Amino acid sequence: MEILILKTFKAIVDEGGIKGAAEKLNTVQSNVTNRIKKLEQELNTKLFTLTGRKLELTPSGKQLCEYADKILQLEYQATSAILSNKGSYELRIGMPETFAAVHMPLALKQLKDNYAHIRAKIFTDTSERLVFSVLNNKVDCAAIGNAPKHENLEVIPVVYEELVMVTPLDGDHYPVLFVRDEGCGYRKHALVWQQKSGRVNDELMIMSSADGVLGCVSAGLGYTIIGKNMVVGSRYEKSLCIRPVNFGPKHVELSIVYRKDCPLEPGVLALANLLKTN
């Protein structure tokens, strides 16, 4: 049972099909199909069944998936441990785009200057999807808001960011709450604020970036609840009014999360300490 074939099998499961797996593995769909056929022949069983247009795991597929997780985790640990012992390794760090823009640049520069043996590689996604990436070894650690409790996760709080209500400078705006996509930590706090403030009838408008949210608010199209550091220093700061939230949580906790069995823990702790210091 080859590691590449197991990775292909797991990619189909994670990405929901052959097309997604091929894109993730940077190969053609026929290669993915052939690898799975080879694996099914080796095990003499079907691993997937087609329900409509969706691939679903058979009972044997579900059983293999549990073992594949363990095998690939051990493979990752072995590779990372050896690279770490050689004195130089790559640290895959996940973070939302907002965190990358505001909180991470100085810490990454200090990591590069003070830990020359660590090469940071950055991946951006929502907080929710980054938790999945950490648990499935797609990244070594992630900087996220509202870190969940999980038996396989270590959580290190690094930043306590003040939540603010943001409106146009002149105060004239529509009753529209601008938020980010599903999975954004700020979005969750904004929706809690909306409920507790009694403004549940305000329209909800979704934007793909924090910059887009602030741009719409500055134009008077609505308001938002977001971290103060997202506004201060932005290109829209002078056209916006910010004030502390008066309902719900007053701060959002940003944390570094990583797997408890992560062999690159020293590098993760170094990054976390730099973020705390800054």
What the chain holds in terms of domains, given with CATH numbers, is: 3-82 (1.10.10.10), 88-159+253-277 (3.40.190.10), 161-252 (3.40.190.10)
Binning pLDDT at 50, 70 and 90, where does residue 255 land?
very high
The answer to pTM > 0.95 is no
Determine the pLDDT at residue 85: 76
Binning pLDDT at 50, 70 and 90, where does residue 73 land?
confident
Distant-in-sequence, close-in-space partners of 189: CB < 8 Å, separation ≥ 6: 163, 225, 248, 249, 252
Determine the pLDDT at residue 143: 94
Look at residue 199 and tell me whether its pLDDT is greater than 90. yes
Determine the pLDDT at residue 193: 94
| 108-126 pLDDT tens trace | 999 999 998 899 999 998 8
Do 260 and 154 meet the contact criterion of CB atoms below 8 Å apart?
Answer: yes
> 70-84, 165-179, 202-216: which has the minimum mean pLDDT?
70-84
Query: What mean pLDDT is predicted for residues 60-88?
Result: 85
Residue identified by tokens 């079907």 is 46
Residue type, 252: V
Distance between CA atoms of residues 150 and 173, nearest Å: 41
Distance between CA atoms of residues 71 and 74, nearest Å: 5
What are 28's two structure tokens? 């053609």
> 54-63, 66-75, 241-250: which has the minimum mean pLDDT?
66-75
Determine the pLDDT at residue 32: 94
Residue type, 142: A
Determine the pLDDT at residue 174: 97
Binning pLDDT at 50, 70 and 90, where does residue 101 land?
confident
Rg, C-alpha atoms of the chain: 22
Look at residue 209 and tell me whether its pLDDT is greater than 80. yes
Look at residue 183 and tell me whether its pLDDT is greater than 80. no
Distance between CA atoms of residues 9 and 4, nearest Å: 9
Determine the pLDDT at residue 112: 95
